[in-house]
Structure 1
Amino acid sequence: MSDPMTAPWGEYTLSRFPEDPREQLRAWDASDAYLLRHLAESGTPLEGAVVVVGDRWGALTTALATAPITAPATAPDGQGPTQITDSFLSREATRANLERAGVEADSVRLLTTEDAPPDRVDVLLVRVPKSLALLEDQLHRLAPAVHEGTVVIGTGMVKEIHTSTLRLFERILGPTRTSLARQKARLIFCAPDARTLGARGNNPWPNSYQLPDDVGLLAGRTVVNHAGVFCADRLDIGTRFFLRHLPKDPGGGRIVDLGCGNGVVGTAVALAAPDAEVVFVDESYPAVASAEETYRANRPDADGEAGGKAEFRVGDGLEGFAPESVDLVLNNPPFHSHQATTDATARRMFAGARRALRPGGELWVVGNRHLAYHVTLRRIFGNSELVASDAKFVVLKAVRRG
């Protein structure tokens, strides 16, 4: 649970999801508070359809849900803001924070980046994401609903807002300027105009590219990346190393690509084990969409008489998997949560894998050498074996004992 956030409409006790008492990371930052304070002090009218994009843990949505928003005549009574997020964890954090603030669940509309955007946007508030591509995609998708009267305000920490960020707003929506910095946060003000909206061009996302020739069964095959998914235009070196050292005989059981990203690893093992059931899991909605398109592009006849099954899940790691229901887990865990470096996600992934694996089942992990995942694996599994290594990466294996 983070320190309370004070906003013009009250004080809010907020948490990330899932809650972890060992983590001291806040569920809001100075850029959230700056934007909310500006809305109140400037008298910005919260009228019509209010849309919040990129709200990391629901701080903006929760505060705005208690603000005096005048909904359009076509909206249901009491309709509050609409949130659009690419993250399952952010969405679940928002649900919990809304409930904690006493907000009725049906008064806020929660959408994902893969859902159809609203038909009209009168106030657009953007928490600038780490991924410039994700910002580009969302501005393109929302542009048809934006009009010259739409109030558009972005927010972020100074280190997150670059010239390229401002150029995206200017190229897709209209003239853009920034505020003075406060507590290392800055606001972006954009004035949509019809000429820019009409000349913005096509949305370049999702993007496709061909894999190199040195990655085994995937050589020359197609990868599909939705905006915001890691390595949008080339194979990253960690995944390339992992592909060279995957299990040689994965068998025909149930295999999970945990934190699947664009699905390259899961697709590779599906090709190597055509009778296996492969489950692609990620907390990112665009990642799972990418994984499904990558898989379908390379196994168009899967799920048919030729055998082979695939499932695509958005969720919190292996939560929801029955104990001892998985034979093999493949994992390239992230070690960042937005701008913070943390091993919390990896620890949860490893612990979830141990619960889900059958006795004798294996977890294979790739990671940077300096992260010392072998120590964490030994703590959770009681064992860890080095499969391969180079100057930067290691592939480790842990076995679920009986």
Structure 2
Amino acid sequence: MDPVDRIIVANSPAAARHLLIVDAPGLVDEALLRADRVSAWCDDIRDAALVRDDVLIDRLDATTLDGVDLVWMRLPRALGALDEYSELIASHAADDVQVIAGGREKHLNRSMNSTLAGHFTSVSASLGQQKSRALRASGPRRGDPVWPRHKTITVGGEQLEMWWHGATFAAGRVDDGTRLLIDHLDRVADADRYLDLGCGSGLLATLIARAHPDSDVDATDTSWAAVDSTRRTAAGTGVRTHWAADLGDFADQDLDVIVCNPPFHRGAAKDSAPTIALFEQAARALADGGEFWCVFNSHLPWKAHLSRLIGATTLVAQNPGFTLTRSLRRREDHGQP
């Protein structure tokens, strides 16, 4: 266990009837020693892969939360995610449920206390330990659910019903990077098969599916919240969604066009390796002559990596915040068949 896991455990009762773990796969073994029943939920499929099958649950609802009297949670960075988790727990868990939510002190803020207080009558904070702290909540306030949320927007000349969960990237808004890509979607090639890689709320996948109704459009993300948001936003368009950590669902040279506006880090971690691995997978899955459209923060050095790993990369558009590039896949340029 890391310091966050340890402070969660240190502030918990010694035993529980039904212990729910949220986004904290490292706590499963300890939970099995303390509770009669243990369930674990992870929004990120990479975390879910670390949890044994007999503990992992595939949703949070009245059925899976029934009888939960203790929750161990890693505090999400997004207040919307904390609000949605709190709403679900307060609405469906046991009357005596206690929530112990931990995080690194540098990532905590008083808005987290206020968010919990919107769903629980008692909220307090632990003392700090190893630069970590836990928030404790009890006394659930039952209420009508407001998550997931949706609204009608006009973007790319189309009116869409955009859905989002609390943990969805850019929840409830069109982020500047996505908007830059949308502004240039009319320059994306006509093709048979498209992929929205890192789909978020599903705006790109939905717009592509509407513009190319005879084509196959897929959307993938590591976040369950993103995948479910995309499924709702793209309803009726035929978009296929994938909750996946990689492009393993796609064969070599399976895709003609990939559009990509993913987060280039995981949580607070700054590490280029996952991004480079993503580019490598895209290169494998793209057909010869296929296009990889990528938008990223302008200060990041991804253009050179795209040229090296995928093919000739051109600058399509740039503003002070974001850069949009198009890479053309040419296997002969990389000594590949």
Q: TM-score, normalised by structure 2?
A: 0.91
Distance in 1 between residues matched to 2:91 and 2:172, nearest whole Å = 27
Distance in 2 between residues matched to 1:186 and 1:87, nearest whole Å = 22
Q: Is the 8 A contact 2:60 2:88 kept in 1?
A: no
Distance in 1 between residues matched to 2:267 and 2:183, nearest whole Å = 29
1:107-126 aligned at under 5 Å gives the runs 108-113=55-60, 117-126=64-73
User: CA offsets, 1:192-237, max 9 Å, x none?
Assistant: 1xxx524xx322212223334xx4333x432111221122222111
RMSD over aligned CA atoms reads 2.1
Could you say which residue in structure 1 is the equivalent of 2:77? Answer: 130
Indicate yes or no: 2:156 matched with 1:209.
no
Distance in 1 between residues matched to 2:262 and 2:138, nearest whole Å = 40
Query: 1:48 aligns to what SS in structure 2?
Result: strand
Could you say which residue in structure 2 is the equivalent of 1:356? Answer: 285
Query: How many pairs align?
Result: 331
Q: Structure 2 vs 1, CA of residues 267 and 189 (structure 1 numbering), >3 Å: closer, same or farther?
A: same
Amino acid at match of 2:136: F
Indicate yes or no: 2:112 matched with 1:165.
yes
Give the deviation of 1:45 after TM superposition.
Answer: 2.7
Could you say which residue in structure 1 is the equivalent of 2:161? Answer: 222
Give the deviation of 1:59 after TM superposition.
Answer: 0.9
Indicate yes or no: 2:128 matched with 1:181.
yes
Match of 1:139 among 69, 86, 89: 86
Q: Structure 2 vs 1, CA of residues 168 and 187 (structure 1 numbering), >3 Å: closer, same or farther?
A: same
Query: 1:340 aligns to what SS in structure 2?
Result: coil
User: CA offsets, 1:51-104, max 9 Å, x none?
Assistant: 11121xx11123323x243x2xxxxxxx4x211121111101334xxxxxxxxx
Q: Is the 8 A contact 1:333 1:349 kept in 2?
A: no
Q: Structure 2 vs 1, CA of residues 358 and 35 (structure 1 numbering), >3 Å: closer, same or farther?
A: same
Amino acid at match of 2:245: D
User: CA offsets, 1:157-197, max 9 Å, x none?
Assistant: 123332221122222122111111111111122231xxx52
Runs of 4 or more above 6 Å deviation: none
Give the deviation of 1:37 after TM superposition.
Answer: 3.7
Distance in 2 between residues matched to 1:114 and 1:145, nearest whole Å = 7
Could you say which residue in structure 1 is the equivalent of 2:45? Answer: 88
Query: 2:274 aligns to what SS in structure 1?
Result: helix
Match of 1:197 among 141, 154, 158: 141
Could you say which residue in structure 2 is the equivalent of 1:20? Answer: none
User: CA offsets, 1:10-36, max 9 Å, x none?
Assistant: xxxxxxxxxxxxxxxxxxx42112223
Distance in 2 between residues matched to 1:250 and 1:384, nearest whole Å = 15
Distance in 1 between residues matched to 2:225 and 2:326, nearest whole Å = 28
Distance in 1 between residues matched to 2:226 and 2:132, nearest whole Å = 29
User: CA offsets, 1:296-349, max 9 Å, x none?
Assistant: 2xxx3x4xxxxxx42111101312211111111000121221111222332122
Query: 1:377 aligns to what SS in structure 2?
Result: helix
Give the deviation of 1:401 after TM superposition.
Answer: 1.3
Q: Is the 8 A contact 1:211 1:234 kept in 2?
A: no
Distance in 1 between residues matched to 2:234 and 2:89, nearest whole Å = 28
Q: TM-score, normalised by structure 1?
A: 0.77
Query: 1:202 aligns to what SS in structure 2?
Result: coil
Point out where structure 1 has 5 or more consecutive residues left out of the alignment. 6-28, 72-78, 96-104, 303-308
Match of 2:190 among 240, 244, 251: 251
Give the deviation of 1:247 after TM superposition.
Answer: 4.7
Could you say which residue in structure 2 is the equivalent of 1:47? Answer: 16
Q: Structure 2 vs 1, CA of residues 229 and 250 (structure 1 numbering), >3 Å: closer, same or farther?
A: same
Q: Structure 2 vs 1, CA of residues 182 and 202 (structure 1 numbering), >3 Å: closer, same or farther?
A: same
Distance in 1 between residues matched to 2:270 and 2:151, nearest whole Å = 29
Q: Is the 8 A contact 2:86 2:116 kept in 1?
A: yes
Amino acid at match of 1:175: S
Could you say which residue in structure 2 is the equivalent of 1:32? Answer: 5
Amino acid at match of 2:122: P
Indicate yes or no: 2:244 matched with 1:315.
yes
